[in-house]
Amino acid sequence: MTPSPANHDKDLPTLGELSEISIADYDEKKHEIKPKSYSLPERRKTEATQSRKSRLGTFKKSVKRQISGSLRSIGAYAGRIAKPANAYIRWNLLFTFLIFLFISSAIWIPVIPALNDFALEIVVIISIILHILWIIAILNALRYTWRLRRFAKHEIRLDNVKNETGLLVKHLVGLCVYKEPLELLMDTIDSIVTQPNARNKITVLVGMEGGTPDKDEKKRLLHEKYDLKFEKFIVTFHPRGLPGDIPGKCSNFNYAARTAVKILRADKNYPLEEYDNNVELLVTTGDCDSVFGDRYFDALEEDYWKISEKQRTYTVWQSPLFYCINLDQSPFFVRVTGLLRAFFMMGYLIPWNINTMSIFSLTLKLFEDGEYTHPGYQMDDIIALIRWSLAVRKKCVIRAIPVATLSGPTSGKNYIDEWYEWARQIRRWTIGAAEVFHYFAIKFFRLPVSVSFSFAAKFVFYYGFLLCIASVYSIIAPIVTPAMLNAVDHGVHGLVIPNNKCFMIIMFSFLGLQYIWFFIVFLVNYLCQPVFPRQTKDKTGIIRNIFHLLMTWPTLVMYCCVELVAFMEVTIRGKSVCSHNASKKDNLVAPTVSKQPDRMEV
């Protein structure tokens, strides 16, 4: 490479010299005892010979000091050596055992002499606990709904924040894509283009798979449209077959993010950790079927400045996510699932610090300390909080950004296709949750005991009890428990509940109460619509809304059944079923204009 004639360029290494800064060289000298400042050198060298080496050596030391940990992660990433592990004997077996132990309790509790006197009361107590947890979720969801509506009227003044050090905040936004329509990806990127000051502070990263159809043409079109609209626009191709990678967003984003950070650090015009520049890069990950909320990044920065420097080291920011893209055109089971997921995010995931979902942000330091995303697992959002908690050896905190973001539900060309895509998505979520439980179990003792037990209880409750067991148990227990009591000649009565008729009245009352909670789920979605980006509305009519409300409980039962089958599948087939097979998003590209859709609108 021909050196630049400018004098100041002579003081900096070329890109070729930068690439020679090796991790091995750093590791060998890491523990070397260096002479103190007052020590005499062993021998003198001429000033002319020493000048160039001194400048380059100083720069190398600066880079190693600032990004030594990062170099180990991002330097020429070519996969990872996966640790040897049994593909079948895994901790998700314990998860599956707990699930089926609880469901079968309606059978084995009545036949145990010491417990059958309390069998009916146990079912009632479990139902009461479930409804108390629903009330907690409702209070949390209404609280976040109020925050969203109030923040919509709030004026963000970043020029008034207390920034004594002159810290410059920039953003790296990562989106991954495989076979999803290019128009859908562009729609997501367009929602980032409209963010305030996007041209000066936002870098967008698009991670494509090596097997993406027409990837070179798509890359050209993306660069052509967006190069001048962001500070940087980067497109990467995730190579197939990297050691330790499994197909999915985790491995794709892991490769893309490492590559992007390496590019930014090598760019002399990008002030990331070079010399005296004071920059904080916030990393945001999203999906290609998302619409970022209005002022997402300004709201993120405002909250960033509200907390202390120490808090930022273990904070992850999450905005409430609503599955409302073309939701009014979805069949009842897709729409109900979308409404429930948004409700549960505000009711449990964010306030209970269970896990992030789809679109979330964190500092680059925390991202790198957690070694980016794990390429050997399929669910980058569910596993993320555990990895970052391990990196800081304490509980990471999810802070809500009071800006609504939108995501697309599953979609299909016809009703059968809708069923298939809906069930496939649930299966993927369930298998991913089972794998994350295994990952958490093997890392259990690396966290403070209180943090580990607290997270385990919340994780098992949400992914095991609420999503997988509750609805099926509410059917099985009222029928099977009395039948088993009769089978062991005990009679259908308890210490407090006198007979089967009283028991059934109580259980039907709980079912009626459950529909009140379902109504509030629909109400929360309606109350949040005024703050949706692009003034998006769920235009579902009153009749269909009533029908969907009635079908909420059957939808949850079907959801639970799919999850049970998925848990059995991962138990029998082991690690081989773990891959990220994304659901189709073709029908989310644009709203259906025709009044004669190719699927039933029910």
Where does 310-436 show beta strands of DSSP type E?
315-318, 321-322, 360-363, 397-400, 405-407
Question: What are the CA-CA distances from residue 548 to residues 152, 154, 291, 542, 544 (Å)?
Answer: 29, 34, 25, 10, 6
**pLDDT at position 43, please?**
39
How many residues in total does the chain contain? 602
Task: Tell me what percent of the residues of the chain surpass a pLDDT of 90.
Answer: 54
Closest alpha carbon to 317 in 276, 264, 353, 291: 353
Beta strands at 168-177 and 279-287: parallel, antiparallel or unpaired: parallel
414 or 156, which is more confident? Answer: 156
Mean pLDDT of the chain: 82
Judged against a pLDDT cut of 70, whether residue 394 lies above it is answered with yes
Judged against a pLDDT cut of 90, whether residue 170 lies above it is answered with yes
Region 24-47 average pLDDT: 37
Judged against a pLDDT cut of 50, whether residue 48 lies above it is answered with no
In a 13 Å sphere around the CA of 90, the CA atoms on its Cβ side amount to 24
What letter would DSSP give residue 347?
I
CB-CB contact of 549 with 515 (8 Å) = yes
Q: Count other Cβ atoms within 10 Å, centred on residue 141.
A: 27
Confidence band (pLDDT; 50, 70, 90) for 356?
very high
* pTM for the full predicted model: 0.81
Tens digits of residue pLDDT in 484-516: 999 998 889 888 999 999 999 999 999 999 999
Please give the structure tokens belonging to residue 482. Answer: 């009395």
**pLDDT at position 60, please?**
47
Q: How far apart are CA 509 and CA 175, in angstroms?
A: 46
CB-CB contact of 234 with 202 (8 Å) = no
Judged against a pLDDT cut of 70, whether residue 59 lies above it is answered with no
Which of the listed ranges 141-145, 179-183, 431-435 does the model predict with the highest average pLDDT? Answer: 141-145
Q: How far apart are CA 336 and CA 330, in angstroms?
A: 9
Judged against a pLDDT cut of 50, whether residue 537 lies above it is answered with yes
Judged against a pLDDT cut of 70, whether residue 594 lies above it is answered with no
Q: Of the ranges 226-230, 380-384, 566-570, which one carries the lowest mean pLDDT score? A: 380-384
84 or 315, which is more confident? Answer: 315
Region 546-560 average pLDDT: 94
Amino acid letter, residue 31: H
Closest alpha carbon to 83 in 439, 326, 495: 439
**pLDDT at position 57, please?**
52
Please give the structure tokens belonging to residue 12. Answer: 């900096």
Sign of the CA dihedral with 406 first, then 410, 413, and 419 last: negative
Q: How far apart are CA 297 and CA 283, in angstroms?
A: 11
CB-CB contact of 411 with 65 (8 Å) = no
Q: Of the ranges 21-35, 313-327, 499-513, which one carries the lowest mean pLDDT score? A: 21-35
Tens digits of residue pLDDT in 100-148: 999 899 899 999 988 888 899 999 999 999 999 999 999 999 999 999 9
Confidence band (pLDDT; 50, 70, 90) for 92?
confident
Closest alpha carbon to 246 in 436, 376, 78: 376
**pLDDT at position 581, please?**
55
